A = this chain, B = another copy of it.
Amino acid sequence: MQVIYYSADQDAAAWVPGLQAALPQAEVRLWQPGAPLADYAVVWKPPQQLLDEQTHLKALFNTGAGVDALMKLQLPAGVPVIRLDDAGMSVQMAEYVCHAVIRHFREFAGYEADMGAGKWSFRKPRSRLDFPVGVLGLGVLGQRVARSVAQFDFPVNGWSRTAKALPGVRSFAGNEQLEQFLSASRILVCLLPLTRETENLLDAKRLSCLRPGGYVVNVARGAHLVDADLLSLLESGHLAGATLDVFRVEPLPKGHPFWQHPKITLTPHTSARTLRTESIAQIAGKIAAVERGERVAGLVDSNRGY
């Protein structure tokens, strides 16, 4: 069995031997133009040439959580594209979001700034009932995030394309319930896949639906959010702030107004990293399942785009 690996970002020097160790029966190599035809490809943001050349693939594995970069390419017809189920990403996402939600709700940045200025301050406690959290997107990551936030007794709303029932989460589904979902939420967490339907979804019209003093946590893709609309709603005061991990262009370009904005907390696309060991174990398991002719979880629907 032949396996090729390619990543635009990740450290091939660690992935290739890792995959080899997990798949002792296979020959694992780093893809280069003109490489021999392989049975499986493990990729992150591959070039079109890889897909064009590799005409014998039984499956294509995507090592990140989002397949939006892959969906922009011409995919080989009939080859299943498989996402990882979780591989340690959902707990990282739950951590990131809970940290951002708690930090905003409890005003810890303000307290720390006061203490840093030598000031022992008092702020009136706020009620969590006034901070319903809305989770946009209820896939593996969104479900884990919703459950984690609910554990801190916040009211939690969830929105997904098709209805999903989750304990402790008030569920909304489809375009017809999107505004209702937004109006019921004050802290909005975006965990959507990036597709034609979800690009620019967080624009002035949608963000204005959030409750006054709204807050945006974007951990999905930069292209979900219309940057200028976020800035004007922060300016008008309808939104109180945002925590952003993803941007339209990454690294965030110099001179972008998000840099040093007093109401925006920035992190450099670090909310949930692909963990190599967990991912490799999962890919090896899925390859074994494909070889046995079994159905594999994480199959991407290219019409849906995720």
Residues of A within 8 A of B (CB): 91-92, 94-96, 98-99, 102-103, 105-106, 108, 111-112, 114-116, 118, 120-123, 125, 128, 148, 151-153, 250-252, 254, 259-260, 265-268, 270, 273, 275
The CA-CA distance from A254 to B117 in the complex, in Å, is: 11
* Contact present for A260 and B118 (CB under 8 Å): yes
CA A279 to CA B251, docked complex, whole Å: 49
What are 24 residue pairs bridging A and B, where the CB atoms are less than 8 Å apart in the complex?
A: A91-B128, A92-B106, A94-B151, A94-B152, A95-B102, A95-B106, A99-B99, A99-B102, A99-B106, A99-B108, A103-B103, A108-B267, A111-B267, A111-B268, A112-B265, A112-B266, A114-B268, A115-B259, A115-B266, A116-B266, A118-B260, A122-B268, A125-B275, A148-B152
Instruction: Give the interface centre of A95, A106, A153, A270 by most chain B CB atoms within 10 Å.
Output: A95
- Asked whether, in the complex, the Cβ of A103 is within 8 Å of the Cβ of B99, the reply is yes
Residues of B within 8 A of A102 (CB): 95-96, 98-99
Contacts of A270 in B (CB 8 A): 106, 111, 123
Q: Which of A103, A118, A153, A267: most chain B CB closer than 10 A?
A: A267
On whether the beta carbons of A96 and B106 are closer than 8 Å, the reply is yes
Complex Cα distance, B99 from A99, in Å, reads 5
A268 to B117, CA, bound (A): 12
Task: List the B residue with the shortest CB-CB distance to A250.
Answer: B120
Residue of B nearest to A96 (CB): B106
Residues of B within 8 A of A273 (CB): 125
| CB closest chain-B residue, reference A106 | B95
Closest 3 CB pairs of A and B: A120-B251, A115-B266, A99-B102
Q: Which residue of B lies closest to A111 (CB)?
A: B267
Residue of B with least CB distance to A273: B125
The answer to whether residues A116 and B260 also contact, given A96-B106, A108-B99 and a CB cut-off of 8 A, is yes
Q: Within the assembled complex, what's the spacing in Å between the Cα atoms of A270 and B105? A: 13
Kindly report which residue of chain B lies nearest to residue A105, judged by CB atoms.
B95
Once bound together, how far apart are the Cα atoms of A152 and B260, in whole Å?
Answer: 30
Which chain B residues border A260 with CB–CB below 8 Å? 116, 118
In the complex, residue of chain B having the shortest beta-carbon distance to the beta carbon of A88: B153
